[in-house]
Structure formats: structure tokens, C-alpha cells
Structure 1
Amino acid sequence: MSIWWSLHLRREAASVPLARRLLLDAMRTAGVDPDISFDLSVALTEACANAVEHGGDERSSGEGPGAYRVTAYLDGERCRIEVADSGPGFPSRRVVRRTAATAQASATAENGRGLRMIEQFADHVHVRNRPGHGAVVSFDKVLKWRGDALLSVG
């Protein structure tokens, strides 16, 4: 069995805990291990906060002006989450050779920390731009189930 849900949210700070709470409640009800639920909720919080802060202007897009979309899929052994916004997208990434100095600079940088946190809590992270329509951050994680899980893979 699988479940999915999608939310269209205003780019307001109050939308972030709402998305997190819905994800946590759905995973708890389904029987997902609490540690996995926590990891995914932290990653979702960071992705939503990024969409609220950087994800749009007043122009119309597929998500609507000043809005973003969260979609979560719990399917079999994996949870996949996508956060799509209507902003300018992510700047082109340049390949940077990681050294102790660049790692230290990266850790204290004002931008990009949320994406690094998502990478720490998820198994796979994909960031893509939708030219003229914003950006999508998607991430997934292999699920572990409690013994009394309703949706566990058997």
C-alpha cells in the first residue's frame, strides 16, 4: 500500500510547521520508525523554509503568486518529498575543490546551509530549476517500520 499528499501553501513562516506536522502525523499513523520520521521532518522543514525565504515573487506561476507546493509519497520502502516554489531558482553551481578552508567557509556561509542539512538527513537529494517557474528540491529516504505499522512492506 502507498499514500501520497500534496499541499499548496502560502509563502509564510506559519506554513512550515503545518507541513512538518502533517508529515509527522502521516508517518506516525502509517507506522514509520520515529527516527526516520524525525530525519525527514527536519529535511522538510529546511526545504520549506528555503521556499518561504527565496521561493517567489508576485508573478503568477504553476504554484500561484507567493505560494509553494509540498508533495510527499510513502510508497513501499521509500518516502519521497518534493518542495516546488515559484522563485528565480537556484544559481548555477560551480565545481569547487573542497579543502579545509572551503569546508570552513561553507559551514559559516549565510546561504546554502539548508541544502547541506537536507543532504545530511536524506538518502538522495535532487535540486533542479524550472526555468521561469521556480525550483524543485526533492529528497528521499528508505523507510523503517515499527512492528505495529499499518503500511509496512511485508
Structure 2
Amino acid sequence: MEIKLGLSLPRDKISIPLVRRICTQSLSALGVSQSCIDDVELALTEACANVLLHALADDDYEVSVGVDNQVAVIEVVDHGGGFNATEILDGEGIRAAAAALADGDGDGANPSPHPIGSAVGPIETLPEQGRGILLMRALMDSVRFDAVEGPHRGTRVHLEKLLTWNDRSPAVRLGSTHPERGPWSGGG
């Protein structure tokens, strides 16, 4: 079983709930576990929110969602002129975020016992820039940022998640989950 969805959306905040609903309902119909759907939904929300913050106001953006074998592959592409992923991912923002997570009380000695986003965790100590990237990386199995070259420069966010299934999943019942196959392999 293979599913591919492609959406072209206006850069408007109302598009994010629409994308989430289409993606989550598709995954739910396949019988993907709710915890897995929740992870994908939040990572997708972060990627789309970045489009609203950083892409050009006049441009649409594209979202593609594919499920093949046991992997969901999601891409969000905008035409905002792109960004320096190395600077964001390897720069001070991520280093500061990692330090804040490792030191819950700020004294430089004690690791935080609380995960990102917990009610008492250090989320307020994280720098604004890079939080969504950390979140996407925590929720997904693979996160990649690529520059889109050409006349409509931009950024492609590539997300992958190994799916877990409900016991009554149509995909499992139909024998459509093959652990030995990789995503988009076309084999059977």
C-alpha cells in the first residue's frame, strides 16, 4: 500500500490546520498508532509555521506526504529565499538550547530531569530561533533541510518517521507493511 498526497497552499495561518487534518486523517485511516500520528502532526506544524514566519508573503508553499512500507515521508517546500541551515543547526542557537537542556537550573552543574515542553521543563530558557528544529529532530527519525535553487529559491524541509501501527490497522491486515523494504523502493 502506498499513499502520496500533494498540496499547494497559500502562505496563510489557516492553511496549517488544514494540512494537519489531511495528514492526520490519512495516517489514522491507515491505522497508524496515535502516538506516531501525534509526533508527525507536531513536526509538520513546526515546519509549516516556519513557512509563515520566513517565506515570502506572496508565495504559496507545497506540502507532500507519502507513506510507503513503514515510513512516512513529509516535505514542506517554501520560496522564502532559503536560510543557512548550517548556521542555525550548528550555530549558537542550538548550542545554547542544548546547554539549557543539560542544565535545568542554570548553575552549569545539574542536568535537567525534564524533557523539552514538560510543564516544569526549561523551555523558557531556550533561544527562540531553533526551538522548532529541536522539536522536529526529537519527534522524527530523520530531519533534513535543503536549499531550493533556481529562480524560486527557498527551503525544503524533509521529515521521515518510521510508523507504528494499531492492532487493527488496514495496512497490517492487508500485509502491506514489509520491514525488509525501504521507503519508495518499489519492491515487494
Give the TM interval when normalised to the shorter protein: 0.7 to 0.9
Residues in 2 aligned to 1:47 and 1:100: alpha-carbon distance in whole angstroms: 21
Structure showing greater relative contact order (alpha-carbon pairs closer than 8 Å, 6 or more residues apart): 1
Taking the aligned partners of 1:83 and 1:122, their CA distance within structure 2 comes to 14
Q: Relative to structure 1, is the Cα distance of residues 93 and 99 closer, same or farther in structure 2, using a 3 angstrom cutoff?
A: closer
The answer to which structure has the higher strand fraction is 1
TM-score, structure 2 as length reference: 0.71
Q: Is the 8 A contact 1:82 1:138 kept in 2?
A: yes
Gaps of 5+ in 1: 59-65
Number of residues paired by the alignment?
A: 147
In the aligned structure 1, how far is the partner of 2:63 from the partner of 2:46?
12
CA RMSD of aligned residues (A): 2.3
- Taking the TM superposition and a 5 Å limit, the aligned residue runs for 1:54-69 are 54-58=54-58, 66-69=59-62
SS in 2 for 1:17: helix
Which residue number corresponds to residue 12 of structure 1?
Answer: 12
CA deviations on 1:26-53 (whole Å, 9 max, x unpaired) are 0111110110000000000000000111
Distance 1:90 1:35, change over 3 A: same
Given that 1:2 and 1:151 are in contact with CA atoms closer than 8 Å, whether structure 2 keeps it comes out as no
Cα drift, residue 128 of structure 1: 0.8
Structure 2 partner of 1:81:
74
The letter for the 2-side match of 1:110 is E
Q: Confirm or deny: 8 A CA contact 2:96 2:126 kept in the other structure.
A: no
Match of 2:154 in 1: 134
User: Match of 1:63?
Assistant: none
1:124 aligns with 2:142: yes
Once the two structures are overlaid, the 10-residue window that deviates more, 76-85 or 128-137, is 128-137
* Superposed CA offset, 1:119-148 (max 9, x none): 011001010111342000011011111122
Contact 1:30 1:151 in 2 (8 A): yes
Q: Could you say which residue in structure 2 is the equivalent of 1:144?
A: 164
SS of the residue corresponding to residue 47 of structure 2 reads helix
Tell me how far 1:92 sits from its aligned partner: 4.9
Give the partner amino acid of 2:130: G
In structure 2, relative to structure 1, the CA distance for the partners of 1:149 and 1:99 (3 Å cut) is closer
Identity %: 31
